[in-house]
Amino acid sequence: MFEKVFHLKENQTNIKTECIAGVTTFMTMAYILAVNPSILSSAGMNPTAVLLATCLASFLGTVCMGLMANLPFALSAGMGLNAFFAYTVCGNMGYPWQAALLAVFIEGLIFIILSVTNIREALFNVIPLSLKKAVSVGIGVYIAFIGLQNAGVVVNSDSTLVTIVSFRGDFHTGGICALLAILGILFTAFLYIKHVKGSILIGILATWVLGIICQLTGLYTVNPDAGYNSLLPAFAMTDFSALGDTFGQCFRFDFDGVSIINFIVVIFSFLFVDIFDTLGTLIGVCNKANMLDKEGKLKQIKPALMADAIATSAGAILGTSTTTTFVESSAGVAEGGRTGLTAIVTALLFLISMLFAPIFIAIPSFATAPALVIVGFLMFSSITEIKFTGENMIKAIPAYLCILAMPLFYSISEGISIGIISYVVLHLVSGKAKEVKPLMYILAVLFILKYIFL
């Protein structure tokens, strides 16, 4: 049966190799089960409901990838997209999380339409490569900043806006949490350098355990009124009824007092990042696995994108942010995973993880900070593919502005819009208007109108 469905011999693999690859992929991306509830709960969502929705959406999307495209890739709530959901759409823009879920659902439907047409390629090709790389870099810096902020390493300053925490002041609460986060980052980085499988997940758990030891020895003081709760996990049965707090809530949003134009901008911001994140991940991982043809194309690209799009809309209905293909799938590929059987194994592990929801939910923010910082580093590495000298400066400066805007303006969408506007303007004033594709001008005008009227 496995041979008939997944063509193992044709792909020069076997059941044992595929299973090991599936477990490896899960280990490298299981950190999302701790990080995603932590991020989305800041938007007012029930963290247990978010975890259950994330597990189900990951299971559904990864099964679709395995069966529809026969590729060894896993899907889950995308890093960066969940931050955009919580901190930009629900935070800066003030939308309720139900509205953000609706935007994700609609974005998924648009993605489904694009996945069966050639529009997807047109959108992908119109954005210059330098800006595509800049979006990845900017998101990396942005989520690393969020991780340091959530851990209390970066704090508010009236004179400089942000500064490093005073470790000596309130050492037994904020100070020790910040110190544990820094130690966790260094430990996770060490594991990653040594190519330890599941290094990010191990880093989260090790940081948490170290925090528990600090609590038991009195270095960490529990103070619920100040937001410093007990670090000891609650061993209890998963409350599966919590899923009702988010399931279908995207259809219960009232548009009274909401700008439709602004809401459309939110939808296309989700869509933009999702498209380029997914395509970039697929191309990058497939290239490492020698799955691309002589022309550098992936013949299963349409079913792969369709699986991603279905998972996004389904995840929004369940109650989680955009579900997308994870670059950590490359860990399973490195272990020999070549078919959809790898994805199926990973999907089943996500489903089983629902039983351990209380443990994942209990993980504190300072323990998830190392994951955000290290994943941010992995995304930041794309900066080496942007050329900053000579004639390339006209493309590099907009990329730089895009990267700079995301953490400083606390918004992925602002970075994207500033990058596109500056790219078009600099080409116009430099006499290179013909090098800019017509659709870029349309996007630039739309973003300018957003700043004028919204």
343-376 residue pLDDT tens: 999 999 999 999 988 888 788 889 888 888 888 8
Q: Do 279 and 92 form a contact (C-beta atoms < 8 A)?
A: no
Cα R_g (the chain), whole angstroms: 22
- Taking Cα atoms as reference points, which of 212, 190, 18, 136 lies closest to residue 386? 136
Distances, alpha carbon 288 to alpha carbons 2, 278, 281, 283, in Å: 24, 16, 11, 9
The residues, any chain, with a CB within 8 Å of residue 94's CB and separated by 6 or more, are none
63-110 residue pLDDT tens: 999 999 899 999 999 877 898 899 888 988 888 999 999 999 999 999
* CA atoms of 308 and 174, how far apart (whole Å): 39
Site of tokens 């980085």:
189
* CA atoms of 139 and 425, how far apart (whole Å): 23
242-290 residue pLDDT tens: 999 999 998 887 777 667 877 888 888 788 777 766 766 676 667 656 6
Q: Which two tokens stand for residue 255?
A: 């548009």
Provide the pLDDT confidence category of residue 162 given band limits of 50, 70 and 90. very high
Q: Which two tokens stand for residue 315?
A: 């995840």
392-438 residue pLDDT tens: 899 999 999 999 998 898 777 788 889 999 999 999 999 999 999 88
Other beta carbons less than 10 A from residue 358's beta carbon: 16
Residue 105: DSSP 8-state = H
SS3 content of the chain, % helix, strand, coil (to 5): 70, 5, 25
Q: Do 35 and 54 form a contact (C-beta atoms < 8 A)?
A: no
Q: Do 1 and 320 form a contact (C-beta atoms < 8 A)?
A: no
* CA atoms of 180 and 172, how far apart (whole Å): 11
Q: Which two tokens stand for residue 198?
A: 């599941």
pLDDT of residue 23: 87
